[in-house]
Amino acid sequence: MTYGFETLAIHAGQEPDPSTGSVTIPIHQTSTFKQDGVGGLRGGYEYSRSANPTRTALQECLAALESGAHGLAFASGLAAEDTLLRTVLAPGDHVVIPDDAYGGSYRLFATVLARWGVAYTPVHLADLDAVRAAVTPATKLLWCETPTNPLLGIADIAGLAGIARDAGVLLVVDNTFASPYLQQPLTLGADVVVHSTTKYLGGHSDVVGGALVLNDPELAQRLVFHQNAMGSVPGPFDSWLVLRGAKTLGVRMDRHCANAARVAEMLQAHPKVGAVYYPGLPEHPGHEVAAKQMRGFGGMVSFTLTGGEQEALRVCERTELFTLAESLGGIESLIEHPARMTHASVSGSPLEVPADLVRLSVGIESVEDLLTDLRTALS
Ligand SMILES: *Cc1c(COP(=O)(O)O)cnc(C)c1O
């Protein structure tokens, strides 16, 4: 029998504990496991960097939610990315990255991997011809984010998968913004899905974590080896927090989407607002592709102010319910100024973001309260 998404979120990897009957997965807060004689492992566990039962539960749940065969959990989204990239790439390789990639991912390519001898080309991924043209014989990997951060650009995952297949390169999709509830890249032809579980999967702004999900058993084995060899694993309590958050992902995302749609509509009609970036708006250039590959349009909304950068900064400092903070994907609404906050690290690069841009992570509070808060800040 195949189960629906919400059933998997609550049950996948989470059978009641056979030794105690504990309905929720215990936090196995231990570094090591007793061996029954030298090399005799009781439950298959030896040392918690290599594997821990709470992390195993999370990994099985994440794999199920992405319709993938293998899940790996990490201490952060960037730890997951670093482990993946240094497993599949070697000095001399080339990668194609989005021209509005998450700032931290860009920094990883531009500073850590560039020094390691991996070249990169930023491309506007919505333009499939430009992507095809950027692939060289040295290209090993196509890195995709959709929707993108902070401009909510949409890339056609199935279209990119076709290009990747023809070129014999890996398609990696950072699915953090959509979450597996709204979009499942592996079913659209991607090879590996990356998550910052810090965001929607954890969902409560109380944990930092990352994940990889994939189908290829041989690559999964190499990644498991590197996960242990490089050691950037999440602790048992952090694993448990993400697992607990994931249980309500579906209902949270439905509300995030509904609230964000109302916020985007209100902003669009507001005289002090310039452009509104939300893939749910029919005039958004990626609207049709988003409607085809996503179940809903997500909880992130960005917009510019006709009054420019000073007005953007003023709005960020005037909201009360929208808390001025980095990060996203929690139940509470957040507001931020990408150029000076989340994307300060891409200042002066081809990925620089507009100075008059404000990014919202629309939470699941009462939507009328959110609209009032924004109207007041804009007034
Ligand atoms: C936050 C984020 C990351 C990095 O994840 P961390 O958990 O902060 O390391 C990567 N990609 C996207 C799209 C993000 O929003």
What is the separation, in whole angstroms, between the first and last Cα of the chain? 54
Q: Where are the domains of the chain?
A: 5-246, 250-378
Measured CA to CA, the distance from residue 294 to residue 361 in angstroms comes to 18
Q: Examine the residue annotation and report whether 174 is marked as an active-site residue of this protein.
A: yes
Ligand 1 neighbour 241 (Cβ under 6 A)? no
Q: In this model, does residue 1 exceed pLDDT 70?
A: no
Ligand 1 neighbour 210 (Cβ under 6 A)? yes
Identify which of 199, 232, 233, 327 to mutate to test ligand 1's pocket (most ligand atoms within 8 A of the CB): 199
Q: How far is CA 314 from CA 269, 324, 371, in A?
A: 19, 11, 17
Q: Examine the residue annotation and report whether 102 is marked as an active-site residue of this protein.
A: yes
Percent of the chain with pLDDT over 70: 100
Q: pTM of the full predicted structure? A: 0.96
Structure tokens at 215: 């189908």
Ligand 1 neighbour 149 (Cβ under 6 A)? yes
CB-CB contact of 337 with 320 (8 Å) = no
Residue-wise pLDDT for 310-346, tens only, equals 999 999 999 999 999 999 999 999 999 999 998 887 7
Query: Fold identical between 5-246 and 250-378?
Result: no
Q: Which CATH architecture has domain 250-378?
A: Alpha-Beta Complex (3.90)
Q: Which CATH architecture has domain 5-246?
A: 3-Layer(aba) Sandwich (3.40)
Please report the pLDDT score of residue 52 as a whole number: 98
B/e letters for 179-216, b = 16+ CB within 10 Å, e = fewer, are: bbbbbbbbebbbbbbbbbbbbbbbbebebbbbbbbbbe
Mean pLDDT of all residues in 103-121: 94
Q: Which of 99, 174, 238, 356 is catalytic?
A: 174
Ligand 1 neighbour 176 (Cβ under 6 A)? yes
| Ligand 1 centroid from CA 270, angstroms | 31
